[in-house]
Structure 1
Amino acid sequence: MTRVMAVSSVFPPHRYPQCEITAALARFMPSQADAARLQRLHASVGVEARHLALPLDRYGPANDFGAANAVFLGTAGELGVRAVESVLASAAMAAHEVDLVMSTTVTGLATPSLEARLAARAGLRPDVKRVPLFGLGCAGGAAGLAHLHDHLTGRPDHAALLLSTELCSLTLQPADTSTANLVAGALFGDGAGALLAVGRGHPLHRTGPGPSVVAARSHLYPGTEGLLGWDIGHWGFRMVLGRELPDLVRLHVAGDVEGFLAGHDLKPSDVDAWIVHPGGPKILDVLADALSLPGSAFGPSRRSLASAGNLSSASVLHVLSGIQEAGPPAPGAVGLMVAFGPGFACELVLLRW
């Protein structure tokens, strides 16, 4: 089975308490907007602080797509190199030993793609296999790990790297007072994560402290394409966020989680470590209730949300790194990674330590 050797998270240096971000966004809003509504939303999402790609005073009501994307390319490149160097150092592996690098993002456009731009700077081989992913949104971290597992199952002697880089603050539309944009402005933060894994035939497979990937599953829900994603225009990226999402999670996703686990003779109560994408407190509450889990089951996800906000695809890597840093679960412990993204889609990855 695929073995996770290390996982890391890195952030831009600009970190602000939620209250400071709230006050800044309130200043950008149109004069007729309901500032009290914005403040209520920001206070209700469980975020205490976030990292931003730029200093807070460099955000403003004007939104130029080209300028924002230029910042994305520069900042994402720096964060990506740091994330790759950090995860390789944690695993005591040299960059030239990596056979595949997969990158995922949904908050900026890059051609050449991000992993191509940083390959030489990070010391990766010129012949490293590259797989850039775009459009998976918040599901990209879990889907990326699943695709890494597919590659390493076919090439068990390889080492593979997943890089997730998200600068969500650069997509914010300050003058947009829609509920979707206000929620995005309350929830999302900036950061990057990297995960290094090896196949079962790799010399380091038995020495890794992380979990093994047992299985993965993807599920698309027909007729839900308009519930989550981007509306892209000259303004850049504008959030699409349907209010039906919590109901969809309750009615369908919980059953798919239970069915996936049942296929491996497991129940939700058998899962020792939940690595759930912290899409927001309501999503976490609804999923926990539908699975009959105690509120503490998603504690690592809630702590990630509080300390860094919703990092889109990088969030599940941040949650997993927090679990590993707190002391890996005991051998034999079961983990389940759960993430949602545009499609509407659910990504599940079953893990065992």
Structure 2
Amino acid sequence: MRVPVIPPDAAAASPAPRLPPAPVAATTIAAVHTAVPPHRYAQEDLTEPIGDLCLAPGADRVLLRRLHVSTGVRTRHLALPIERYAGLGDFGRSNDAWIEAGTDLGAEAVTGALREAGLEPADIDLLVCNSVTGVATPSLDARLVGRLGLRHDVKRIPVFGLGCVAGAAGLARVHDYLRGHPGDTAVLLTVELCSLTLQRRDDSTANLVAGALFGDGAAAVVARGRDAPGRDGDGPAVVATRSHLYPGTGHLMGWEIGATGFRVVIDAGLPAVVRDHLGPPLRAFLADHGLTVDDIGAWVCHPGGPKVMTAVTEVLGLPDDALNSARRSLAALGNMSSVSVLHVLQSHHGARRPEPGTWGLLMAMGPGFCSEFVLLRW
């Protein structure tokens, strides 16, 4: 399935002012590839079928329909044809579907990223694999080693629990690894099949929001250490990273895990938390590198939802179009949890890359409540 690549903003492609000297890159992003399932639906074609799943017969659908219109999502891809969801029945069947579809999508994403980077599976030294929408032992990364032809001594790190922040946090941890192993090449794989967590006969606002907002997909990033063999490519360098947890906010986002699987927790107060807490740590992070918000020419932001993106724009004083690449990703594919920020990053590769010397900030937020910042330079 060919994934639509969103064009970056005009503002994101322009060189930023007052650029400090370029640092020696410890990590270079060689390729990003997003894969989505073949089952693509217009948002309006999902509203009533999702209502049939989540609501009791005859229930009022006013809120459901309003949410489907207001999310900013136009199309989404689902792991299964929509008519199959009613027959999943329990968590076991949903999780089996996650393993099957997730392994297929993960293989497609990694294969595409390696091809774009000009590398072979045997070139990979580390595979980090994240998902928060299913569980498996052996993990997805273990299942992919033989299928993709990775070396039997490849290092693997399966990650669970980071949610939407994992695309940014995973890239940050890959960078940490490559700083200590500069001759290595690593792959970050994120696989999120959010539709398989949808709770049947659950009319909670959080479940209805999830049914209106989230889509399914996978993304892989190939990252090279400073001394790794291979071509340089046209991706940015990772300059620095920072993590930040917001105390007292752990109840705002996550899962309640029970007999029916993963029941989503999304608090309506999240945009207010972003407004109250995002600005100071982000500005401090930039200041440590001699930068300000105005120096960032490419904003690579996880598209959590319209209200969250508006809060980010307002608290940082960004131009109205600064997060347009994230909004286009949301419209085309929905919120794919950890996959989405990597899809936005993909839009800044190839012919659409920013001018050399442009500073970028890749950022995401997720359960904890937390944020992750990755400073980039093209």
TM-score range, shorter chain: over 0.9
Runs of 4+ in structure 1 deviating by more than 3 angstroms, as ranges, are none
- 2:226 is aligned with what amino acid? R
Give yes or no for the alignment of 1:341 onto 2:366.
yes
Which residue in 2 is equivalent to 1:107? 133
Counterpart check, 1:73 vs 2:99: yes
Does the aligned pair in 1 maintain the 2:88–2:94 contact within 8 Å? no
Match of 1:180 among 206, 231, 249: 206
In the alignment, does 2:183 pair up with 1:154?
Answer: no
Alignment partner, residue 111 of structure 2? 85
1:282–1:325 CA distance, 2 compared to 1 (3 A):
farther
Contact 1:33–1:177, Cα closer than 8 Å, also in 2:
no
Tell me if the contact between 1:159 and 1:196 (Cα under 8 Å) persists in the aligned partners: yes
Paired residues of 1:97 and 1:159 also in contact (CA < 8 A): yes
Instruction: Write the distance in 1 (CA, Å) between the matches of 2:174 and 2:131.
Output: 16
Aligned equivalent of 2:226: 200
Shift of 1:259: 1.4
Shift of 1:325: 4.7
Assess if the C-alpha contact under 8 Å between 1:25 and 1:174 holds in 2.
no
Q: State the distance in 1 between where 2:188 and 2:91 align.
A: 27
CA distance in 1, matches of 2:59, 2:331: 27
Of 236, 243, 255, the residue aligned with 2:268 is: 243
Q: Using structure 2 for the length normalisation, give the TM-score.
A: 0.91
Task: For 1:225 and 1:48, locate their aligned partners in 2 and report how far apart those are by CA, in whole Å.
Answer: 31
Residues 96-175 of structure 1 mapped to structure 2, 5 A cutoff: 96-175=122-201
2:332 to 300, 307, 317: 307
Residue by residue, what CA displacement relative to the aligned partner does 1:78-116 show, whole Å, maximum 9, x if unpaired? 011111110000011011010000000000001111110
TM-superposed deviation, 1:288: 0.2
- Alpha-carbon RMSD across the aligned residues, in angstroms, is 1.2
The 5 A counterparts of 1:269-308 are: 269-308=294-333
Q: 1:201 to 1:182 in 2, by over 3 A?
A: same
Which amino acid in the other structure matches residue 303 of structure 1?
R
Name the counterpart of 2:292.
Answer: 267
In the superposition, relative to structure 1, how do residues 235 and 328 fare at CA in structure 2: closer, same or farther (>3 Å)? Answer: same
Tell me if the contact between 1:63 and 1:173 (Cα under 8 Å) persists in the aligned partners: no
Q: How many aligned residue pairs are there?
A: 352
- 1: CA distance between counterparts of 2:49 and 2:110? 32
Alignment partner of 1:27 is 2:55 = no
Structure-2 residue corresponding to 1:254: 279
Tell me how far apart the structure 2 counterparts of residues 127 and 348 of structure 1 sit (CA, whole Å): 31
Relative contact order, higher structure (CA 8 A, sep 6+): 2
Which of 63, 74, 89 lines up with 1:37 in the alignment?
63
**Cα distance in structure 1, aligned partners of 2:256 and 2:160:** 15
Tell me whether 296-305 or 54-63 shows the greater mean CA deviation.
Answer: 54-63
Question: Conserved in 1, the CA contact under 8 Å of 2:118 and 2:230?
Answer: no
Query: SS in structure 2 opposite 1:295?
Result: coil
Shift of 1:326: 5.5
Cα deviation per residue 1:222-266 (whole Å; 9 max; x = unaligned)?
111111000000010000111111111001012221111111111
State the TM-score, normalized to the length of structure 1.
0.98
Structure 1 residue runs without a partner (length 5+): none
In 2: Cα distance, 1:79 partner to 1:62 partner = 20
CA distance in 1, matches of 2:136, 2:31: 26
